[in-house]
């Protein structure tokens, strides 16, 4: 019995040694085989020239593939950074998965994953981005992408704890847009269908945290821009203070669907404390939006944005596209307000707890915010028209002047009616540049009088400078009594209004908090 036991032990040891030798020999032959299979698969899958620093297959205590230094150069491009770079990797696998075709890996862990989208997209002859070509419309919808052909590499799961996505600038002297990706987890890679994924991303500007999950792929080798993607996202704690000139914390939720060059995105944003640096108080701002995003360069076309600023609804459409020679993106929007409240808009723009004016407002304007490092208020450009209804001034001095103007315009004696007069039909055109607004064809009316003005207002200094005409239904004599009425009749020819009444040149200057109103003497007696 002892002899048989010893013989059994020796046989077992011998078999184990033989098996170990066979496995070691097979592992030795397996390394170049797996390396060749992996390189060939990546070449075919991504239409890339693959550079692989090292790869080693081990079988004890379990089959494993480890390596480092992976570079994928899309279409063999050497004029741009690699499409994909990996500092190191390791993967578990089954023996059969390593020997058969397609090559199959269980869980692939990537260290130092870097994904780079070259300037202008994923093709060396890409027809440039929207800002360069002048194309303000989003890419047209494409036909449904085809499934990839035969698969030579299957990966059950890919994990990258810390990775980066960079979208390069066409100007090599400018830094690329950089997204930090945390805990990327993707399954079913290479099976010819889309790969479900989860990831956490740090958004660069406004800086915030994105949680997203969805499906990516299958990768379209012939045209990577048509690779499909869809999913949902949650953006939280986005700090608007990272954009010069505005402030607040933004949160957003939504979904996306499409292909890389045209991703349809819909969602909503919430900013409970939105502010601009010229304003004196934060205000709540929420939006609902539908947009098209080019995922290869980040250009965005806003098909519809519905924003609510307190009780005012703002509708906008336009584009956010990469600038040609300046860092950042240019925002170009058409903005409309049909039944808004003036006090809501003034709360955002003016340093005052109490709005200087209230009333209904209608606005149509084209808005441009060029790229660059300047404060938003300094580079904001507006051109449009507006109309106010039933406007009233909160400044008692100003409102009293309006009330007096109405009484005098009707020829009533002082004190005949001390009721408050509302400004009606206040309308005009405006152009804003360099934090200053220029108004033209600015008119408003109260009972008995019409005011026609042109001039400007500086948002930073709050300086006012307007000139124009005051058109009154009454003559000067009808607005005065006693000796003054005699003098008024003498000078009335200088202020005669065609059709009756008076036309008085006026000037408004000073500041928002301390305006001054007066007769424009130069234009009265020296009309030239």
Q: What is the mean pLDDT of residues 412-418?
A: 55
Question: Of 13-22, 145-154, 168-177, 422-431, which range is least confident?
Answer: 13-22
Amino acid 31: pLDDT: 77
Give domain status of residue 430, yes or no: yes
Please count the structural domains in the chain. Answer: 1
| Its pTM surpasses 0.85 | no
pLDDT 10s digits, 110-126:
999 998 876 655 654 44
Cα–Cα distance for residue pair 447/460, rounded to 1 Å: 33
Amino acid 169: pLDDT: 62
- Please provide the distance, in angstroms rounded to a whole number, between the alpha carbons at the two ends of the chain: 132
Q: What is the mean pLDDT of residues 387-411?
A: 69
Give domain status of residue 406, yes or no: yes
Q: Give the whole-number percent of the chain exceeding pLDDT 90.
A: 27
Q: State yes or no: pLDDT of 129 exceeds 50.
A: no
Give domain status of residue 95, yes or no: no
Amino acid 131: pLDDT: 40
- Token readout for 272 is 């409970």
Q: Using omega within 30 degrees of 0 as the cis cutoff, is the peptide bond preceding 206 cis?
A: yes
Amino acid 231: pLDDT: 96
Q: State yes or no: pLDDT of 442 exceeds 70.
A: yes
Give domain status of residue 499, yes or no: yes
Give domain status of residue 404, yes or no: yes
Give domain status of residue 238, yes or no: no
For residue 21, name the pLDDT band (cuts at 50, 70, 90).
very low
Three-state secondary structure call for residue 19: helix
- The whole domain housing 406 covers 395-525
* Beta strands in 394-476, from DSSP E residues, in sequence order: 424-433, 436-446, 449-458, 463-472
- For residue 283, the Cα-to-chain-centroid distance in whole angstroms is 19
Amino acid 134: pLDDT: 40
Amino acid 199: pLDDT: 94
Cα–Cα distance for residue pair 392/342, rounded to 1 Å: 10
- For residue 472, the Cα-to-chain-centroid distance in whole angstroms is 49
Question: Of 9-13, 169-173, 335-339, 497-501, which range is least confident?
Answer: 9-13
User: For the residues of 214-271, what is the DSSP string, one character each?
Assistant: EEE----SS-GGG-EEEEEEEEEEEEGGGSTTEE-EEEEEEEEEEETTEEEEEEEEEE
Q: State yes or no: pLDDT of 528 exceeds 70.
A: no
Higher pLDDT, 32 or 52: 52
Amino acid 419: pLDDT: 54
Amino acid 17: pLDDT: 47
Instruction: Check if the beta carbon of residue 274 is closer than 8 Å to that of residue 263.
Output: no
Q: What is the mean pLDDT of residues 362-376?
A: 88
Number of helices (H) and strands (E), helices first, in the chain?
8, 24
Mean of the per-residue pLDDT values of the chain: 79
Cα–Cα distance for residue pair 189/180, rounded to 1 Å: 21
Amino acid 397: pLDDT: 65
Higher pLDDT, 89 or 1: 89
Parallel, antiparallel or unpaired: strands 153-167 and 103-117: parallel
Amino acid 232: pLDDT: 97
Give domain status of residue 390, yes or no: no
pLDDT 10s digits, 55-111:
888 876 778 889 999 998 877 777 778 888 999 999 888 766 676 777 888 899 999
Give domain status of residue 412, yes or no: yes
- For residue 117, the Cα-to-chain-centroid distance in whole angstroms is 19
pLDDT 10s digits, 322-348:
776 667 788 899 999 999 998 888 887
331, containing H or E segment: strand 329-341
Q: State yes or no: pLDDT of 401 exceeds 90.
A: no
pLDDT 10s digits, 466-482:
888 888 777 766 666 66
Instruction: Check if the beta carbon of residue 291 is closer than 8 Å to that of residue 301.
Output: yes
Amino acid 132: pLDDT: 39
């Amino acid at each position: 019995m002892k002899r048989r036991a010893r013989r059994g032990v020796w046989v077992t040891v011998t078999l184990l040694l033989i098996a170990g030798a066979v496995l070691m020999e097979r592992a030795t032959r397996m390394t170049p085989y797996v390396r060749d299979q992996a390189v060939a698969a990546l070449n075919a899958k991504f239409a890339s020239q693959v550079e692989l620093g090292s790869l080693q297959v081990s079988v004890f205590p379990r089959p494993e593939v480890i390596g480092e230094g992976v570079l994928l150069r899309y279409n063999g491009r050497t004029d741009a950074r690699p499409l994909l770079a990996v500092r190191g990797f390791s993967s578990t696998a089954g023996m059969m998965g390593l020997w058969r075709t397609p090559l199959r890996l269980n869980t692939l862990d990537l260290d130092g994953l870097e994904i780079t989208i070259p300037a202008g997209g994923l093709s060396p002859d890409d027809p440039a981005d929207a800002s360069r070509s002048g194309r303000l419309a989003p890419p047209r919808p494409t036909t449904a992408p085809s499934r990839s052909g035969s698969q030579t590499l299957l990966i059950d799961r890919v994990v990258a704890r810390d990775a980066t996505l960079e979208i390069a600038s066409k100007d090599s002297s400018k830094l690329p847009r950089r997204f930090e990706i945390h805990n990327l987890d993707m399954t079913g890679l290479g099976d010819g269908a889309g790969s479900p994924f989860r990831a956490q991303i740090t958004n660069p500007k406004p800086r915030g945290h994105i949680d997203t999950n969805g499906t990516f792929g299958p990768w379209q080798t012939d045209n990577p821009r048509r690779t499909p993607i869809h999913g949902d996202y949650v953006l939280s704690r986005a700090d608007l203070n990272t954009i010069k000139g505005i402030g607040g914390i933004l949160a957003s939720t939504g979904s996306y669907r499409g292909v890389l060059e045209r991703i349809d995105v819909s969602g909503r944003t919430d900013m409970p404390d939105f502010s601009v640096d010229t304003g004196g108080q934060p205000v709540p701002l929420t939006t609902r939006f539908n947009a098209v995003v080019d995922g290869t360069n980040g250009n965005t076309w806003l098909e519809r944005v519905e924003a609510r600023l307190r009780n005012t609804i703002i509708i906008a459409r336009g584009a956010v596209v990469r600038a040609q020679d300046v860092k950042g993106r240019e925002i170009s929007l058409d903005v409309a307000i049909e039944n808004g409240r003036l006090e809501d808009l003034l709360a955002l723009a003016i340093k005052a707890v109490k709005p200087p004016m209230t009333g209904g407002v209608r606005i149509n304007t084209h808005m441009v915010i060029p790229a660059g490092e300047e404060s938003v208020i300094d580079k904001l450009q507006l051109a449009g028209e507006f109309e106010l209804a039933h406007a009233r001034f909160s400044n008692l001095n100003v409102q009293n002047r309006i009330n007096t103007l109405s009484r005098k315009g009707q020829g009533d004696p002082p004190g005949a009616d001390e009721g408050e007069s509302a400004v009606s039909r206040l309308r005009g055109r405006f152009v804003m540049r360099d934090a200053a607004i220029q108004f033209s064809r600015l008119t408003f009316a109260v009972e008995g009088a019409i005011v026609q003005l042109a001039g400007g207002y500086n948002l930073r200094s709050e300086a006012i400078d307007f000139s124009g005409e005051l058109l009154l239904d009454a003559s000067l004599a009808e607005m005065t009594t006693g000796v003054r009425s005699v003098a008024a009749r003498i000078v009335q020819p200088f202020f005669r209004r065609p059709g009756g009444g008076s036309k008085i040149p006026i000037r408004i200057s000073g500041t928002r908090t301390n305006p001054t109103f007066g007769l424009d003497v130069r234009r009265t007696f020296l009309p030239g």
